[in-house]
Structure 1
Amino acid sequence: MTSSPPALTRIRIGSAPDSWGVWFPDDPRQTPWERFLDEVADAGYEWIELGPYGYLPTDPARLTEETAKRGLRVSAGTVFTGLHHGPAVWEDTWEHVSRIAALTRAMGAAHLVVIPSFWRDDKTGEVLEDRTLTPAQWRELASQTERLGREVLDRYGLRIVVHPHADTHIDTPENVARFLDATDPALVSLCLDTGHYAYCGGDSVRAIEAFAERIGYLHLKQVDPRILAEVVAEGLPFGPAVGRGVMCEPPSGVPALEPVLAAAQRLDVDLFAIVEQDMYPCPPDRPLPIARRTRAYLRSCGAR
């Protein structure tokens, strides 16, 4: 007889529009926002992220009403930034960030997920800039991210959690370590996405242990190693890789999530662990059964 894993008492499980095939504020191929809210609650989740700004209602009163009647709460908002370009992009960046931070705060959340800009277009594969930053760009990335962390904390009371992401400059274990070494832990934490980290050659359990004091948030996803090998061999951009199914339903891929969650529990801090199975675009009836099975699987890992 197998025993149940210990309850993950410090881990709060949620999901996100991404798991319903949502990548953009408005796209006819995406699940309508009302259906997403209905189905994410039906699947057994209590926490959600905002997703792309403008997908869910941006009026805090309306969004509060819509989430509350379904028993949902917001864990974080998400912003995209190109801070390695330095002060020249600050004004436009802040205009974008401040709108999302205000809604995130109004919904009672405490985190803002920060995703670096892509070095190649995630649809066409067009190379937008060099995939390797210069030393000067690394300095700008570190200093401007600290500035963002300070401003978001001071003005909105939110903590930024930077999300290493495929096809960005914060991707591999080496680049993640370099970024963390260059930034102030008081201002910049990490959103460790298990799927993206594996996609870029990393081991999430090792990352949690090595960067223990910097782990502020988790995204849970898995990659299909067979498809990933094809993607790497072909040099495929992230968007087409997702279309091919590189991000797969747990527990069929890597990394194994039970050891990741156990390592996160050992940090002895409260953490959100938000499921994000990239699958844009996808048929409208596909996400809910996957979400139900994934929630049941995570319960079997101790995530109540």
Structure 2
Amino acid sequence: MRLETQWLVAGAPVSFGVFEAGAAPLPAGEMVAILAGAGYAGIDLGPPGYLDLDRLDGLLLAGGWADVPAGDFADLDAVLDLFDRAPAAPAGFEPRPTLGPPGLPARFAAPGGNAPGLGRADWPAFAAQVQAAADRCRERGYEPALHHHLGHAVETTEEIDRLLELTDVGLCLDTGHLLLAGGDPVEALRDWAGRITQVHVKDGSHRLLAEGGTLRELMGRGVFPPLGAGDLDLPGVLGALDGYRGWIVVEQDTLPAHRPTADIAADQAANLRKLKELGL
């Protein structure tokens, strides 16, 4: 199939609520088995220490979240150390460090472009932190991607544009987070095509976002539904990705108490089938 060497598709622990739980809602080996059995080619790292990199059932490591450091690089280096231990990947499909901008309490309380972000005077120092983190990743042999995110300092299209102007970091384009922040993922994939180094595909519900609530409450109500069940133009996204080569990470951010693990697992299998139905 034409796209087999253009895209590889990974699943992610965040789809099972791993990041949101005080303790992991299911053993890592069980999650690996679910995603491998569904036909995914890779998996995201999840919290450092969660995955056993020697037991990935043939899955490749697609990437992993690391907060943009405000001080030293200890936490970022810990993630990169794990990347060094990951199974060897084909050229172009090495794991991406997905750099996370800081969360802002006011935005967690009212996500979706409804609360102010960083002040103009704060941007130069923040951009310098992002650039330093990106440089550190490259020194270690990995090409980073900045992950915009609801509730965080980089949420809107305007903020993504500003960060791309102030740094040379790549972008992890997340369709669900951009959609619910008022952006158009199809346009964004075309406008930022030269800077996108990883893509997270998730759907989003404008109806649930409009009901209001904190980001955590919205996730618990299913603001990120299965692919095809929300407002994302998924065929348009896949069409706009035609020139992109790299990982597509399917995510469906949820809370562990939101739904039983068996239902979440069924969603992940259905999400991959949906992509294949659309020609992946």
Relative to the length of structure 1, the TM-score reads 0.82
Write the letter of the residue equivalent to 1:201: G
Q: 1:136 offset after TM fit, Å?
A: 2.8
Q: 1:33 offset after TM fit, Å?
A: 1.0
* Structure 1 stretches of at least 4 aligned residues deviating more than 3 Å after TM superposition: 5-9
Q: 1:202 to 1:8 in 2, by over 3 A?
A: farther
Contact 1:221–1:277 (8 Å) recurs in 2: yes
1:36 matched to 2:31: yes
Structure 1 equivalent of residue 120 of structure 2: 135
Q: Distance in 1 between matches of 2:183 and 2:233?
A: 13
Structure 2 equivalent of residue 223 of structure 1: 204
Structure 2 equivalent of residue 201 of structure 1: 182
- State the SS of the aligned residue for 2:100: strand
Q: 1:6 offset after TM fit, Å?
A: 7.5
Structure 1 equivalent of residue 228 of structure 2: 251
Q: Distance in 2 between matches of 1:175 and 1:259?
A: 23
Structure 1 equivalent of residue 16 of structure 2: 20
Q: Distance in 1 between matches of 2:117 and 2:273?
A: 40
Alignment of 1:41-52 (within 5 A): 41-52=36-47
1:212 matched to 2:197: no
Structure 1 residue aligned with 2:249, among 264, 274, 298? 274
Q: 1:104 to 1:131 in 2, by over 3 A?
A: farther
Q: 1:116 to 1:259 in 2, by over 3 A?
A: same
Contact 1:8–1:262 (8 Å) recurs in 2: no
Q: 1:176 offset after TM fit, Å?
A: 1.0
Contact 1:25–1:55 (8 Å) recurs in 2: no
Structure 2 equivalent of residue 60 of structure 1: none
Q: 1:120 to 1:244 in 2, by over 3 A?
A: same
Structure 1 residue aligned with 2:145, among 161, 182, 189? 161
Structure 1 residue aligned with 2:58, among 71, 76, 86? 71
Q: Distance in 2 between matches of 1:270 and 1:111?
A: 13
Larger relative contact order (Cα-Cα within 8 Å, sequence gap ≥ 6): 1
CA deviations over 1:51-78 (Å, ceiling 9, x no partner): 1112213xxxxx22x11xx221111121
Structure 2 equivalent of residue 99 of structure 1: 78
Structure 1 equivalent of residue 49 of structure 2: 54
Tell me the C-alpha RMSD between the 2 structures.
Answer: 2.2
Contact 1:190–1:214 (8 Å) recurs in 2: yes
Q: 1:191 offset after TM fit, Å?
A: 0.3
Q: 1:96 to 1:242 in 2, by over 3 A?
A: same
Q: 1:209 to 1:122 in 2, by over 3 A?
A: closer
- State the SS of the aligned residue for 1:78: strand
Q: Distance in 2 between matches of 1:205 and 1:24?
A: 29
Q: 1:25 to 1:103 in 2, by over 3 A?
A: farther
Q: Distance in 2 between matches of 1:110 and 1:15?
A: 13
Structure 2 equivalent of residue 114 of structure 1: 99
Larger Rg: 1
Q: Distance in 1 between matches of 2:78 and 2:214?
A: 29
Number of paired residues?
269
Contact 1:21–1:31 (8 Å) recurs in 2: no
Relative to the length of structure 2, the TM-score reads 0.89
CA deviations over 1:120-155 (Å, ceiling 9, x no partner): 1898x49xxx8421223110111111111111111x
Structure 2 residue aligned with 1:293, among 270, 275, 278? 270
Q: 1:209 offset after TM fit, Å?
A: 1.1
Contact 1:105–1:158 (8 Å) recurs in 2: no
CA deviations over 1:199-224 (Å, ceiling 9, x no partner): 10010111111111111100010012
Q: Distance in 2 between matches of 1:146 and 1:7?
A: 32
